[in-house]
Amino acid sequence: MSKRQKFIVRRAASALIIAFIAVTFSFVLFRALPGDAAANLSRVPNMTPEAQAAIRAQFGIDKPLATQYWLYLKELVRGNLGYSFQNQQPVRDNVLLNIRNTVVMVGVGTVAAILLGTLIGVAAAYRQGSARDRVITGAAMVIYSLPVQWIGLLLLVWLAGYLPTSGMSDPYLLDAGLWETLVDRARHMLLPSTCVALMLFGGFALVVRSSQLEALADDHVLTARAKGYRNRRIVWREAFRSAMLPLVTLSTLTLGWVIAGAILVEAVFSWPGAGLATVQAVSARDYPMLQGIFLFVTVSVVGFNFVGDVLHAVLDPRVTE
Amino acid sequence: MRLVRQLLRRPTVVLGLAIVLLFTFVAVFAPLLEPYPIDGPSGEPFEPPSAAHWLGTDDAGVDMLSLVIAGAQNSMLVGFAAALVAVLIGGTLGIIAGYKGSWGETTVTGVTDFFLVIPGLPLMIVLAALFGQTIYHIVLVIGLLSWMSVTYVVRAQVHTLKERGFVARARSLGAGDLYIIRRHILTHVAPLLVAQTVLTVASAVFFEAALAFIGLGDPERVSWGTIIQNAFLHSAVSLGAWWAIVPPGVCIALVVLGCFLVGQGVEEAMNPRLGHAHVAPKSFRLRRASTEDEA
C-alpha cells in the first residue's frame, strides 16, 4: 500500500470509531434522563401499574440496558430513528426533509462566504500593513465577533418591508409555474443565506489573508517576481494556489461551526430546516427528534471531516508523511 | 514581568484589556450602576432612547440600560466560570499529554479529537435540554465542551519545554515529576493559560447567548442572550424597536473582540513566529491543522 492509501485507511478507521463512540454516547445521554417514557404517566387518572408496565414493554424499556443498546444499534443500522412525539412521523423522514432545506440555504451562504472571503483576504494580503489591509482586517474581526442571531435580527429590522422574513415559500402562491416558484424560493432564501454568509466570511477572509501572506513570502514567489511576471499572475497563480490549502481544511473543519450558525439563523428566519427543528424539539421536549437530529448531524460532521482529510492528503502529499 | 511590559506596549492589547476590564467592572458593580430597577417598568413599552432612558425601554417598559448592565453580570459570570472550567480541564490534560507522552498522550489526543469532531452547539443544546437550565448547568455545559483547544495548545508548549535544558538539569539533580511540573512547566505555561482563559471567555459568552436565544437560558436571570431572545419573542422586530436589540449584541461583540485582542497579543508575544496563523475566537478548530505530529 502506498503511504497515501495507508493514511486514508487509518483516517477511515478513526472516523468509524469516532462515529461509533458518538452513537453510543447519544444512547447513554438519552437514557441518563431522569425518569422514563412511562414515569410521567403515573399522574394520569385511572392509570394502573399494569398499564404502565404494558407501555414499558411496548417501548422495550423493561428489558435490560444491554438488550436495549443492542436493539438501538440494530434499528439504527436499519435506518429507524424512532417516531417524533410532535407529529408521530418517523424521525428519519422528518430529519431528511429538514436537512435538505438546511443544506440548500446554508450551502448558498457558505459558497458566497468563501468567494467573498477569498477576494477580500487576498486583497488585504496584497500589501501587509497598508491602510486597506488594516481596514479589511479590522472590519473582518468586528463582523466575526458579532453574534449571528443579532445580525439576523438587524437584517430583519432593516429589510422587513422589502423581503419575505420567515419561512421558505409563500403559502398564498398557488398554481405558480416553475419559474415563479423558484423566484419565490430565492427571495425567501436571500435573508437567511446572507446572514450565514456574513457570519462566515470574516473568518474566511482572515484565514485567507494569513495563508496568502505566508505564501507571498515563499521562495517560488520571489522566483516568479524575478522572472518579471505581472502582479496579478503572481498573486493568483503563484501565491494563492498554495494559500488555498488551509481554506480547504478550514471549510470542512468549521462545519461544526456552520451548523451552530445554521441553528440560530433558522430560528431567526423560521427557515424549516434542521436548526429550527432542533429548537422546536427542545421546546416540545421531543427527545426522539432531538436525538435523531443530533445523530444525523454528528455522523455527517465526522464523515465530512474524513472527506476533508482525504482531500487534504490528495492536494498536499506532505500530510501523509 | 518582561512579558507584561512587552504586552502593554502593544496598542491592540491595551485596547482589548481596557474593554475586558470595563465590562468586568460593570459586571461586578452591576446592582450599583443600574439607573432603574429591572424587575418592573419605569416607562412606556418600547420607548425610544431619550434623556431619561438612554437606551430606551423594552416590551415591558423596563429600562434597557439597566437590563444591559444586569445582563453583563450574568453573561460575564458564565463567560469567566465556563472558561475556568475549560482551562482547568484542558490545562491538566495538556500537561499530562505533553509531559507523559506514550499512552497518556495517545489517550488524551484520542479523547480530544473525539470532542473536537462532535459539533459543539448541538451537543450543548442536547445537554442543556436534558439536564435543566440553571446558570450552573449552563456554565458546566459550556465549560465541559470548550477545553479541547486548550489541551492542544498546552500540549504543544509542554512538548518544547520538556526538551529545554533547565528541565533536564532539574531531573539530573533528582527532582520528581510533580516538582518539575509545578516549578518549571506550570510557570512557563501560565501566560498561555491566561491567554486561553481570555479566549475561552469570548467563546463562552457567545455560546451563552446562543443557548439563551434557543430558549435554554436560565429563566431566572437576565443575560445579554436572554435580552436578545426577549426582544425577538416580543416583536421588537416588527415594531422597529432596534434599541431593544442593538445594545446587548454590541456588548457581546465588544467582549469577544476585547478578549480576542488580549489573547492573541499574549500568544504572539510568547511565540513571535506564530504570526497571524490562526484566527478563531469562537471555535479554535483550525488550530488543529498546525499540530505537527498529526497524521
User: B289 falls in which pLDDT band (50, 70, 90)?
Assistant: very low
Report how far apart, in Å, the C-alpha atoms of A180 and of each of A100, A171, A190, B82 are: 21, 13, 15, 49
pLDDT in tens, A251-300: 776 777 788 888 999 999 999 999 999 999 888 888 888 889 999 888 88
**8 Å CB contact between A151 and A195:** yes
Per-residue pLDDT of chain A (321 residues; tens, 9 = 90+): 788 888 889 889 989 999 999 899 888 888 766 555 555 555 566 667 777 777 777 666 677 778 888 888 888 888 888 888 788 888 899 999 999 999 999 999 999 999 999 999 999 888 887 888 889 988 998 888 899 999 999 998 888 777 777 777 777 777 777 888 888 888 888 999 999 999 888 888 888 888 888 888 888 888 888 888 888 888 888 888 888 877 777 777 677 778 888 899 999 999 999 999 999 988 888 888 888 999 988 888 888 888 888 888 887 777 766
pLDDT value at residue A321: 62
Residues 6 or more apart whose Cβ sits within 8 Å of residue B104: B96, B97
Residue of B nearest to A319 (CA): B295
B71 pLDDT above the threshold of 90: yes
State the Cα–Cα distance between residues A148 and B228, nearest whole angstrom.
11
How many residues are recorded in chain B? 295
State the Cα–Cα distance between residues A154 and A150, nearest whole angstrom.
6
Q: Is B249 on the interface with A (CB under 8 A)?
A: yes
Minimal Cα–Cα distance from A309 to chain B, Å? 9
User: B83 falls in which pLDDT band (50, 70, 90)?
Assistant: very high
HSE-CB of A23 using CA atoms within 13 angstroms = 20
For the segment B120-127, the average pLDDT, to the nearest whole number, is 89
pLDDT in tens, A46-56: 667 777 777 77
pLDDT value at residue A43: 59
Phi/psi at A90 (5° precision)? -60, 135
B122 pLDDT above the threshold of 60: yes
pLDDT value at residue B226: 94
Q: Minimal CA–CA distance to B64: which of B73, B55, B72?
A: B55
**3-class DSSP state of A164:** coil
pLDDT value at residue B225: 93
**Least confident among A1-15, B111-125, B196-210, B266-280:** B266-280
DSSP secondary structure letter of residue B62: -
pLDDT value at residue A196: 93
- Give the residue ranges of DSSP H helices in chain A: 3-31, 49-59, 65-77, 91-125, 131-145, 148-159, 178-216, 219-226, 231-233, 241-253, 255-269, 274-283, 287-315
pLDDT value at residue B285: 34
Residues within 8 A of A (CB atoms), B 103-162 only: 113-114, 117-123, 125-127, 129-130
**8 Å CB contact between A78 and A70:** no
Residue of B nearest to A298 (CA): B118
pLDDT value at residue A36: 56
Phi/psi at A123 (5° precision)? -60, -40
pLDDT value at residue B79: 95
List B57's β-bridge partners, or say none: B63
pLDDT value at residue B281: 34
User: B295 falls in which pLDDT band (50, 70, 90)?
Assistant: very low
Higher-pLDDT residue of A87, B74: B74
Q: How far apart are the first and last CA of chain B?
A: 38
Amino acid at B142: I
**3-class DSSP state of B182:** helix
**8 Å CB contact between B181 and B162:** no
The whole-angstrom distance between residue B69's C-alpha and the CA centroid of its chain comes to 19
State the Cα–Cα distance between residues A203 and A127, nearest whole angstrom.
19
B76 pLDDT above the threshold of 70: yes
pLDDT value at residue B291: 37
State the Cα–Cα distance between residues A256 and B119, nearest whole angstrom.
4
The whole-angstrom distance between residue B250's C-alpha and the CA centroid of its chain comes to 16
pLDDT in tens, A183-197: 888 888 899 999 999
B274 pLDDT above the threshold of 70: no
State the Cα–Cα distance between residues B125 and A26, nearest whole angstrom.
13
Q: Which of B201, B251, B264, B286 to mutate to test the interface with A (most CBs of A within 10 A)?
A: B286
B72 pLDDT above the threshold of 90: yes
For the segment B175-188, the average pLDDT, to the nearest whole number, is 87
> Per the CB < 8 Å rule, is B119 touching A33?
no
Phi/psi at A82 (5° precision)? 90, -170
B18 pLDDT above the threshold of 60: yes
Q: What percent of chain B has pLDDT over 70?
A: 91
Average per-residue pLDDT in chain B?
Answer: 85
Q: Minimal CA–CA distance to A105: which of A60, A155, A167, A51?
A: A167
Q: Is A153 on the interface with B (CB under 8 A)?
A: yes
- Give the residue ranges of DSSP H helices in chain B: 2-8, 11-28, 30-33, 64-100, 102-117, 120-131, 135-144, 148-162, 165-172, 177-180, 186-213, 224-233, 246-270
Minimal Cα–Cα distance from A177 to chain B, Å? 31
**3-class DSSP state of B63:** strand
**Least confident among B153-162, B231-240, B275-284:** B275-284
Query: Quick check: pTM over 0.80?
Result: yes
pLDDT value at residue B6: 81
User: B209 falls in which pLDDT band (50, 70, 90)?
Assistant: very high
> Per the CB < 8 Å rule, is B276 touching A18?
no
pLDDT value at residue B286: 34
Residues within 8 A of A (CB atoms), B 180-239 only: 202, 206, 209-210, 213-216, 228, 231-232, 236-238
**8 Å CB contact between A30 and A82:** no
Residue numbers in A near B248 (CB within 8 A):
150
Q: Is B9 on the interface with A (CB under 8 A)?
A: no
Residue numbers in B near A282 (CB within 8 A):
125, 129, 214-216
Higher-pLDDT residue of A36, B137: B137
Q: Minimal CA–CA distance to B36: which of B74, B72, B77, B65?
A: B65
Report how far apart, in Å, the C-alpha atoms of B266 and of each of B138, B262, B270, B279, B280 are: 28, 6, 6, 14, 15
Q: Minimal CA–CA distance to A81: which of A293, A284, A281, A259?
A: A293
pLDDT value at residue A184: 84
pLDDT value at residue B278: 36
